[in-house]
Amino acid sequence: MPSAQFAEQVRIPDDAFIAGLDRELAARDLGERLAFIAETFGNAVLTTSLGLEDQVLSWAVSEHARSIRLATLQTGRLFPETVALIATTNARFGLEIEEYLPEAADIESYKSQYGLNGFYDSVEARHACCNIRKVKPLKKALAGADAWITGLRRSQSDNRAHVPFAEWDEANGLVKLNPLADWTADAMQAAIAEHDIPVNPLHARGYPSIGCEPCTRAIRPGEPERAGRWWWENDEKRECGLHVPEASPLPNASQLPENAATKI
């Protein structure tokens, strides 16, 4: 249950609320973090890309917080191994991962302007593709939610080195929670082995971070975990637009959506 001290915090996500969330999550183990999130928020959504982090989180949700919804962005360009893992995960944990697809009209518009694989030609074209296949479907996945749970970890890349446990996501207008922020790759592998968590077979072939098939390659020895994502770009802060590099400023109470209040 939320601690008495936390329950005294303001009940909308202002600075004090976010800081309180961050402290509370930092003091708990993973199962306790997810249970706390489920008790605190009425409609929390975990978005999963079926990567190692999200598989660990899916297992933890099935064990400790089954009221948390799971959603995945079915971009239409995923590896077959990733698509197959959706059904495997549902069956293994008794879950129902909701799939959100891009709009067919958006895909056709993109192909007309850039070509099917135009994302190789410019950062602008790549961002446009990520927007229609990921960012816009994410909006649908998070509609009505008051908290968004992700698998971001600080050790994934320099760009994520300061990921907090709790922050305000300005783009989606809700609290964003990163319960694996302090986990290492070794800790994840240990949890996967201990709990027999199903994972994408591509990980064993040198793909620690897996996105869309045309935009992901295996990494070379010594490369960072996310070096295989959009490898043809030179920007060290390559992202798809789902996660902004810097924490967004918190809104005033008058700017919050009606569903931003929590249950505590």
Domains, the chain, in order of start with CATH, read 4-237 (3.40.50.620)
Exposure class string for 15-35: b at 16+ Cβ within 10 A, else e: eebbebbbebbeeeebebbbb
Q: Are the CB atoms for 177 and 30 separated by under 8 Å?
A: no
- Tell me the per-residue pLDDT of 142-197, one tens digit each, with 9 for 90 and over: 999 999 999 999 887 677 788 999 999 988 989 999 999 999 999 999 999 999 99
Active site residue 130: no
pLDDT at 243 exceeding the cut of 70:
no
**Which H or E run contains 126?**
helix 123-130
- Mean pLDDT of all residues belonging to the chain: 86
pTM of the entire predicted model: 0.82
C-alpha 217 chain-centroid distance: 20
Tokens found for residue 46? 């975990």
For 10, 58, 173, 258, the CA distances from 254, given in Å and listed in that order, are: 14, 34, 12, 10
Q: What DSSP letter does each residue of 230-261 carry, written as one string? A: STT---TT---SSS-SSPPPPPPGGGS-GGG-
Q: Looking at 129, 130, 212, 240, which residue is catalytic?
A: 240
